[in-house]
Structure 1
């Protein structure tokens, strides 16, 4: 089987500059580069934090994110890509930091199978953060 590694996740937003600022201020992603994708009519940015990247699209004439895509239990009821997830060492510490930064915390899970949370970026896109137990790593 061909080998591959993760490269980036992508989100569409109504305001590229606001999203670049949000991903930097809240999650520590720095602007790597900006470019325009003619075929999509998209002002685009790649932001990076270590090996992790997000591609952010501001597409001319794009529709806003539907309300049911903003809440994890509703979002999974529609086929398609859902979110990206990142590992955190301590969920409670992460949540405290996100609250301090004014992040929109959408959903918190603390179950026998694991714990994590979803936050919404400045456009309402869901991002998951998971605290793994020792037997998951």
Structure 2
């Protein structure tokens, strides 16, 4: 009797493509969670080896139903399961289903998507293993609905499409966080006389491509080319103060252009300092910045600061 019940249970699992687990005594019929995905394959062992080798799934169990010509393996990754199933009458996936964009022309379930933290690194790792990439990492951006994410699609050993997504922070929020950090780097406060140029390096392109203009007064214009010259120029200037803050006015920020790799912005910054002789310096300046993204971090490649601004 136990064997009969077990066989019936396996048959039930094999003939559904999405399974759900309902936990506890339910008072809400829509309370469920994803359990597993069923994929029909040409060879269960070869497909299991592919998912284990490339996506770090683990073998959970394997079983056969000879009377139905079915064999299957259940793989696990965390709480998620993939059931790889072989039918004696199975047919190869149509060519149109093996391409991301032609597949969309056929109605029905398309693919599963997994979230990753670093899409470029993840896809690069799969590529090094010989995994076929159908869509290279790219940005999806809808400025109207403010939906942004990066995505890529690979193929398993049978041509099934698998999507990987990296959720991205809204670019304007990234700019704001960058400006806060930039301001902090220029605000040593009571440690101004110990200011180190090292604090600036995370916020500027570290090459001769950096160009900075600083209008310290109406009679003098400072133009600095190169990161090392820029940082070296400002270190002794900052060290003449006993106190210094440089505060970007986030309410004044205007983003003129913005892509996933470049940005141009303008804003006001508030300067306040106390020299070693006790003299106070307080002024508002206007800044125009051109940023580029290096290794997923914004960096200044062009800086233009002038002031004081009198409104």
Cα distance in 2 for partners of 1:46, 1:76 equals: 28
For the residue of structure 2 that corresponds to 1:93, the secondary structure is helix
> How much has 1:134 moved relative to structure 2?
3.4
Q: Tell me how large the CA RMSD over aligned residues is.
A: 1.5
Q: Does the aligned pair in 1 maintain the 2:140–2:151 contact within 8 Å? A: no
Instruction: Trace 1:68-79 onto structure 2 (pairs within 5 A).
Output: 68-79=96-107
Q: Give aligned pairs, total.
A: 135
Cα distance in 1 for partners of 2:57, 2:110 equals: 20
Q: Does the aligned pair in 2 maintain the 1:71–1:107 contact within 8 Å? A: no
> How much has 1:131 moved relative to structure 2?
0.3
> How much has 1:67 moved relative to structure 2?
0.3
Cα distance in 2 for partners of 1:107, 1:38 equals: 38
Residue 11 in structure 1 maps to residue 29 in structure 2:
no
Q: For structure 2, which runs of at least 5 residues remain unmatched after alignment?
A: 1-27, 142-147, 171-311
Cα distance in 2 for partners of 1:15, 1:83 equals: 20
Q: Normalized against structure 2, the TM-score is what?
A: 0.42
Cα distance in 1 for partners of 2:66, 2:45 equals: 19
Query: Which one of the candidate residues 122, 125, 134 is aligned to 2:157?
Result: 122
Q: Normalized against structure 1, the TM-score is what?
A: 0.91
> How much has 1:46 moved relative to structure 2?
0.6
Residue 110 in structure 1 maps to residue 139 in structure 2:
yes
Larger relative CO (CA 8 A, sep 6+): 1 or 2? 1
Q: Does the aligned pair in 1 maintain the 2:75–2:83 contact within 8 Å? A: yes
CA deviation vs aligned residue, 1:35-87 (integer Å, no higher than 9, x gap): 12457522111100111210101111211000000011111110111111100
Query: Which one of the candidate residues 42, 48, 54 is aligned to 2:82?
Result: 54
Larger-Rg structure: 2
For the residue of structure 2 that corresponds to 1:6, the secondary structure is strand
2:249 match: none
